[in-house]
Amino acid sequence: MQPSVTMNDVEAAAQRLRGRADSTPLVPSLWAGADLWLKLEICQPIGAFKLRGALNAVEAVEADGVVCCSTGNHGRGVAWAARAAGKRAVICMSSLVPQAKVDGIRALGADVRIIGRSQDDAQAEAERLVEAEGLAEISPFDDPLVIAGQATIGAEIMAKKPETETVLVPLSGGGLAAGTGLSVKAANPKARVIGVSMDRGAAMAESLRAGRPVAVEEVPSLADSLGGGIGMQNRLSFPMCRDFLDEVVHVSEEEVYAAMQELFYTDRLVAEGASVVGLAALMTGKVDAKGPVATIVTGRNMDMDQFTRVITGRDVTLGDVTIKGRPHAA
Ligand SMILES: *Cc1c(COP(=O)(O)O)cnc(C)c1O
C-alpha cells in the first residue's frame, strides 16, 4: 500500500513535539516589499526545523540505533533525538557538507561518516549500515513520520495567522514542502504554497518538471542545505509535492547572497542560504505576494566565515564559481 500522511498524523506529531520542538516564533519582517511573516525555525534547539521530523521519527524506532544520510541539519536533528531517546546514531554525509554542520553533529555524540561527493554516496552507506549493523534508517524527507513532523510548521503558521495567503517553502528533498503543503491546505485550501529552490542542482524541482524522480548533478551552493537528490525510489515526498505545491520558483546564488544580507541588515537575523530563498523570491519579484505571505526561515547552521564574507560584501568562492561580492544596498 502507498504510505500516506494525514492531518491525524500531523496532530499526533504535534503532541510528541510539544514543549521540545514546537511553537517557534512567527514574526513580521521589517522588509518593506511585502506583508511578510517569518517562521523562525532558527530558534529550534539544533538551529533548524529538522528536529521536528527527526524527533517524531526516532521515537517510533524500536532498534537501539538509527542511521541516516544528511546534508547536515537532518543529521543534527537525528543525533539530538537519538541522544534524547538513549539510542546510538550514525550520520552519513558527503564531503560537500560544511564543517560547521559536521562539528555540530559530532558535538551531540553521533558517529559521523563522510562518504563520497554526493548525497547518493552517503545514502548508499546508510543502506549498508542498515544491513550490516541492524540500525533503523530515517530518511531526511521520504518518511511519513518525518513529513508529519515538518507539517506541524504549516499548522502553526495557519493557527497563528489564518489570513496567510501565500507560504514560501525552501525546497530540497521535499519533506518540508510536502508537510507544509498538507497542513496549510488543510487549514485553507485557497492558500498558495510555493516551493523555492536554487537554480543549480535542484532535484525536486527538476523531478516535478519531468513528472518523475530524476537525478541532478550536485554542486556547491550558498544554500547547501538544499542540495542532494530525492531518491529514484521516492514514494512520498515527490507525489505530495506534486499534489500540494502550486508552483516552484528558482533563485540564483547572487539572489541568495543578497537575501542573506537583507535578512541580516533589515531583521538582524543570522540564517543560512537555504533559509532565505523565500525572501529572495520576493525581492526579485519571482513571487508576487499581495496579501500576507509567510516564509520558513529554516536554519542557521552555516559556516560563519562564509556568512561574514556575505554580510561584509566580499566575494564567496564555491567550488569552481565565485559569487562577486556586493555591499548591502541600504
Ligand atoms: C533540509 C533543509 C531544507 C529543505 O527541506 P526538504 O525537506 O529537504 O525539502 C531547507 N532548509 C534547511 C536549512 C534544511 O536543513
- Gap between the Cα atoms of 25 and 22, Å rounded: 9
All residues at 6 or more sequence positions from 189 whose CB lies less than 8 Å from its CB, including other chains: none
Domain assignment of residue 117, yes or no: yes
**Ligand 1 centroid, distance to 35 Cα (angstroms):** 24
The tens digit of pLDDT for each residue in 54-72 reads: 999 999 999 999 999 998 9
Beta strands in the chain (DSSP E): 26-28, 36-40, 65-69, 88-93, 111-114, 136-137, 166-170, 192-198, 247-251, 293-297, 316-318, 321-323
Instruction: Answer yes or no: do 64 and 192 share one domain.
Output: no
Domain assignment of residue 297, yes or no: yes
Per-residue burial over 296-327, b if 16 or more Cβ lie within 10 Å, else e, is bbbbbbbeeebbebbbeeeebebeeeebeeee
| Per-residue pLDDT in tens (0 to 9) along the chain, 330 residues | 455 899 999 999 999 999 999 999 999 999 999 999 999 999 999 999 999 999 999 999 999 999 999 989 999 999 999 999 999 999 999 998 889 899 999 999 999 999 988 888 898 999 999 999 999 999 999 999 999 999 999 999 999 999 999 999 999 999 999 999 999 999 999 999 999 999 998 999 999 999 999 999 888 899 999 988 899 999 999 999 999 999 999 999 999 999 999 999 999 999 999 999 999 999 999 999 889 999 999 999 999 999 999 999 999 999 889 999 999 986
Closest ligand 1 atom to Cα of 175: 7
Instruction: Answer yes or no: do 78 and 210 share one domain.
Output: no
Closest ligand 1 atom to Cα of 274: 11
Instruction: Answer yes or no: do 213 and 254 share one domain.
Output: yes
Q: Which of 147, 226, 237, 303 to mutate to test the pocket of ligand 1 (most atoms within 8 A of CB)?
A: 226
- Would you say the CB of residue 275 lies under 6 angstroms from ligand 1? yes
Instruction: Answer yes or no: do 204 and 113 share one domain.
Output: no
Domain assignment of residue 314, yes or no: yes
Q: How many domains does the chain have?
A: 2
pLDDT of residue 96: 83
Instruction: Answer yes or no: do 186 and 264 share one domain.
Output: yes
The amino acid that residue 319 corresponds to is: G
Instruction: Answer yes or no: do 286 and 202 share one domain.
Output: yes
Give residue 122's domain range: 50-137
Domain assignment of residue 259, yes or no: yes
Instruction: Answer yes or no: do 228 and 192 share one domain.
Output: yes
Last residue of a domain, one of 104, 137, 170: 137
Domain assignment of residue 330, yes or no: no
Annotate 21-53 with DSSP letters as a single string: S----EEE---TTS-EEEEEGGGSTTSBTTHHH
Partners of residue 219 on adjacent β-strands = none
- Gap between the Cα atoms of 11 and 179, Å rounded: 12
Last residue of a domain, one of 137, 172, 207: 137
Domain assignment of residue 169, yes or no: yes
Instruction: Answer yes or no: do 265 and 295 share one domain.
Output: yes
Instruction: Answer yes or no: do 197 and 251 share one domain.
Output: yes
Domain assignment of residue 171, yes or no: yes
Half-sphere exposure of 291 (CA within 13 A, CB side): 10
Instruction: Answer yes or no: do 77 and 164 share one domain.
Output: no
Residues 84, 55: contact at Cβ < 8 Å? Answer: yes
Q: In the structure grid, which three cell numbers stand for residue 154, read together?
A: 504549516
Residues 256, 280: contact at Cβ < 8 Å? Answer: yes
- Gap between the Cα atoms of 14 and 155, Å rounded: 9
Domain assignment of residue 2, yes or no: no
Q: In the structure grid, which three cell numbers stand for residue 197, read together?
A: 529552490
Last residue of a domain, one of 103, 137, 171: 137
Instruction: Answer yes or no: do 242 and 190 share one domain.
Output: yes
Q: Which of 52, 171, 172 to mutate to test the pocket of ligand 1 (most atoms within 8 A of CB)?
A: 172
Partners of residue 297 on adjacent β-strands = 40
Instruction: Answer yes or no: do 110 and 157 share one domain.
Output: no
- Tell me which H or E stretch contains 246: none
pLDDT of residue 1: 45
CATH code for position 169: 3.40.50.1100
